[in-house]
Amino acid sequence: MVEASTPQSHNELSPQLLAADEPGPFQVLNPLAGSPILLVCDHASCRFPKSLGDMGLDPFARRCHLAVDIGAGPLTEKLAVSLGVTAVLAQYSRLVMDCNRQLMDPSAFLQFGDGTLIPGNRNLHQSDKDLRAEALYWPYHAAVDKQVQRLRNIGPAPAFIAVHSFTPVMNGEARPWEMGVLWDTDTRLRDIFLQDFTAAGFKVGDNEPYSGKAPQDFTIDHHAEEIGLPHIGIEVRQDLIDDDAGVDKIAKVMHTIIESIPKRINGAGDVEERTRVHDRG
């Protein structure tokens, strides 16, 4: 089951970011599932609102790793379907508005990254930023919040898993890891993923290629850390999931790990059992 958002309606005099015939800012997979797991994917999409044109970017730049976490959306969808768990995915490019940043962070509207200028984000007025935040950022985070509250109301604190992917080369430097586990102070899911990814033969970065202790990340800090949910950021190297076969392979590994989480942290029975009990939708 999929809950699709629709563009926010505004009165006719105010400018609109999304047209009525465009997808809404987010989608929710399995919005009524009962498993104490929530997957989120902030950077799932390379879609741009028609109203912003090409933002001065060529077709390559509009699909590159600055625009989207390549493979992360399909991987999140595959996991949501195979595990029967809830997932919330953003439906527009992070170059339009990075949902994993504080609103005040300049990189919420990236102007330059990895050798590429983003002309459509230069000299933005506050009203441009507000328009994007109202149309994309707040609806997405409200959808995540709604699912966190729903899952907390029906069972143990859900494990909050943010799925990302990283480019093998950044600013000319090759990265040695295949997977990364990003965490700050809560080691519950970090220990599980680090141990199981390593056992599955992957080179795992422990708070690499990014650190969960970095202050600029927003989604996990805001939705999970503040209220003590077990949480983790998973980073998968993009070349491992840039086609269907790769997504299938990594999804199988992650499926087994995620399926084991409720028992390992809550002793709360397996995923299927909880789904049977609660998912009547």
Residues at the contact surface with Zn ion, assessed by CB under 5 A:
43, 69, 164
In angstroms, the CA 190 to CA 158 distance is 15
The one-letter amino acid code at 275 reads: T
The minimum distance between CB 92 and Zn ion, in angstroms, equals: 14
Number of helices (H), then strands (E), belonging to the chain: the values are 7, 12
Residue 209 burial (CB < 10 Å; 0-12/13-18/19+)? Answer: middle
Q: Tell me how far, at minimum, the Cβ of 76 lies from Zn ion, in Å.
A: 11
Q: Other CB atoms closer than 10 Å to residue 57's CB: what's the count? A: 22
Nearer to Zn ion, 90 or 157 (CB): 90
Beta strands in the chain (DSSP E): 2-4, 26-29, 37-41, 86-90, 112-113, 116-117, 159-166, 169-170, 173-174, 179-182, 204-206, 231-237
Give least dist CB 122 to Zn ion, A.
22
Q: How far is the CB of 210 from Zn ion (least distance, A)?
A: 9
Q: Which residue is nearest to Zn ion (CB)?
A: 164
Of 43 and 78, nearer to Zn ion (C-beta) is 43
Minimum distance of Zn ion from residue 165's CB (angstroms): 7
Minimum CB distance to Zn ion, residue 43 (Å): 4
* Of residues 211 and 260, the one with the C-beta less far from Zn ion: 211
Crossing angle for the helix pair 271-278 and 244-266, to the nearest 10 degrees: 80
Q: For residue 14, give every residue at least 6 positions away whose Cβ sits within 8 Å of its Cβ, in sequence order, or none.
A: none
Cβ–Cβ < 8 Å for 4, 23: yes
For residue 28 the two structure tokens come to 């929710």
